[in-house]
Structure 1
């Protein structure tokens, strides 16, 4: 099966109409390699749930939790104990317990795991703290919503991190001047890490609908793209064979400068490159790319040792009367110089012999010592 031009145009227009993907901000927790572990998240919660700790946010997180539980609790930050992994009589562990003279709050923390725990045993353990003058509260904190029709929670109130963070952000204004660096940054990083976990497993509805409606055509288009890439790679390799067969490579004395060659054949783009590195001096390695796209062939140059500053390369090609223009691509990691002189491009269908000789002529101009 192949796609008509109208079908391809329809696919591409649909893709263009989708809202732009929001680029996820990589967090320090993700860089460190600990985004998914419940223990790490519980340790962070323990620190910020203790009002007397040096973060400067006081009872911000506790106030936010009790707002979501819909309970009015007076919090005395000097008389609160926040502890981790308290064992039940059966040897099970409750992730977090916040205890004061006035209340006790037990929190079971779930990042990705389902709510399969024995919540009846957790509740039984927590209820031992119940007194006439002290209420016991139970929270199941999770990244994703819990299906309460399938899970027996025995009094644990399910709250998502999203709801908690929304409440924290709503309440944080009064703590703006008391929050201390770097703990403000750490809290923001923790919030962003959890948000990334939520977003990493879901796409916006418009994208899901687009791919659901067009998945067969998209698969066909992918297959055609792969065939196009194979043809492009074959052509650049054939070009390279023509170039390497010349004396400039077979006889080192024919070139005053060492030359290395190779390929850049990315899988994510419709582009194939046969590259040649000309080592001119200790400070200048001129990279000469012969680039093939579906539009055809062209040349580009850059300084392999200083990719953002093409000045030395520009001087070199100008001395050899090779006309170039600086590329206009925004946010490019390399400042390329594009050849804009005579015969500055060739059609895609050009034979390997002709394209190879075309590239070889430029290579010889670049290695001219001007003696």
Structure 2
């Protein structure tokens, strides 16, 4: 077994540092501004450019119908007879095939003068549980003697989880067709913001359809891994040990902080990788969950060359379920600002509290340690947990008792 020495590690790190930087893929408006990888936002945008409103041209419907015709799934003569001004799209179209059953919803339904098109959009989820037979009945009802078309849109050409009469059109196929039509579509219209947004959305779909394209290794990097696999494996184990030690110390600091307030509680933990490159260590005190479910304090670490004792920076976050603090939210925020501006704690406020989340809305707080070191961050973690216990949980328990 290869033993990692300081010299071998130094040589390996030097070789990694000398690797050429990989060019970053061009970001787009939709992927950089939120949860563009989720099905509902993507389906909403698909509908927008397929005719959901008369204010936006139905460019994407045209591209999809041309793609279906190119695959032999639609007659060319039918395509030539489409009145594009008549095309309209609907989202989440409900239908109940059996009155005893609940309504089922088709992601997208596009109608024109001579066709009705059903679309099920799947980003990364399986289609196994989708009721395609109900969708088929819906299309029959809505067809009014027009040609019925149907397809599944998804990033990959996977068809094992869908019926054979629902062909898969990949995002790449759709984007390639849309770009082929783009020049002719926009040339006959005055410039508008929708041309820009449409171009950005097509790029976003292509990114969704090629999640690994920007992560492919070049030959130099691949050779480095093959020649130094054991050393890299040991380096990865060192990083894992670093995180496990930080997690254990974090539990100790939070436990001690709450014990100072007379609380003896279990602390559950969770480690996560955030999309911004942060590693997040989340701490869930059991007594907090009794009053505010899923409340947690989080220690995040990340690359930061300005850190005082290395290249790792730290930030501390607190997340509170807003549904359980609505009446006290303003008071909690005011107490946070007052504490952060004082000299009583080892932390300072980084920014105003913010709201985030999907079905569950959380109020988030972020602070940084006054001593920008690992030890300073752990001290701030404990003191911030103690502050939260005193200001949030003790008062919330008092108000609900």
User: Structure 1-normalised TM-score?
Assistant: 0.52
2:258 aligned partner: none
Question: Matches of 1:42 and 1:118 in 2, distance apart?
Answer: 18
Q: Does 1:218 align with 2:223?
A: no
Please state if 1:182 is matched with 2:206. Answer: no
C-alpha deviation, 1:94, in angstroms: 0.7
Q: Deviations 1:29-49 (Å, cap 9, x if unpaired)? A: 642x34133222222222211
Residue of structure 2 in register with 1:53 after alignment: 54
Alignment of 1:1-371 (within 5 A): 1-3=3-5, 5=7, 9=11, 13=15, 16=18, 20-25=22-27, 27=29, 30-31=32-33, 33-50=34-51, 53-55=54-56, 57=57, 59-69=58-68, 70=70, 71=74, 72=76, 73-74=79-80, 75-90=82-97, 91-116=103-128, 117-130=130-143, 134-142=146-154, 144-148=155-159, 150-177=160-187, 178=189, 180-198=191-209, 204-206=215-217, 209=222, 213=226, 214-221=228-235, 268=303, 273=308
Contact kept? 2:92, 2:107, Cα under 8 Å: yes
Distance in 2 (CA, whole Å) between partners of 1:51 and 1:83 is 6
Contact 2:109–2:117 (CA<8 Å) still a contact in 1?
yes
Match of 1:238 in 2: none
Give the SS at the match of 2:158.
coil
Counterpart residue number, 2:359: none
CA contact 1:27–1:189 (8 Å) conserved in 2:
yes
Structure 2, unpaired ranges of 5+: 98-102, 243-300, 312-401
> Distance between the aligned counterparts of 2:92 and 2:239, measured in 1?
53
Distance 1:114 1:273, change over 3 A: same
Q: Distance in 2 between matches of 1:52 and 1:270?
A: 49
Q: Secondary structure at the match of 1:36?
A: coil
In the alignment, the residues of structure 2 paired with residue 97 and residue 211 of structure 1 have an alpha-carbon distance, to the nearest angstrom, of 50
Describe the shift of the 1:205–1:174 C-alpha distance in structure 2 as closer, same or farther (beyond 3 A).
Answer: same
Q: Secondary structure of 2:93's match? A: strand
Distance change (3 Å), C-alpha of 1:44 and 1:226: closer
Q: CA deviation at 1:109?
A: 1.1
The alignment covers a number of residue pairs equal to 233
CA distance in 2, matches of 1:68, 1:167: 6
For the aligned residue pairs, the C-alpha RMSD in angstroms reads 3.8
Distance 1:106 1:176, change over 3 A: same
Q: Match of 1:193, SS?
A: helix
* Aligned-pair CA distance for 1:211: 8.1
Alpha-carbon shift at residue 129 of structure 1 (Å): 4.4
CA offsets, 1:37-78, max 9 Å, x none? 3222222222211298233x4x43222112221232132123
Tell me the TM-score normalised to structure 2 length.
Answer: 0.48
Higher radius of gyration, 1 or 2: 1
Output one character per residue of 1:247-305: Cα deviation in whole Å (capped at 9) or x when no partner. xxxxxxxxxxxxxxxxxxx853677648xxxxxxxxxxxxxxxxx89xxxxxxxxxxxx
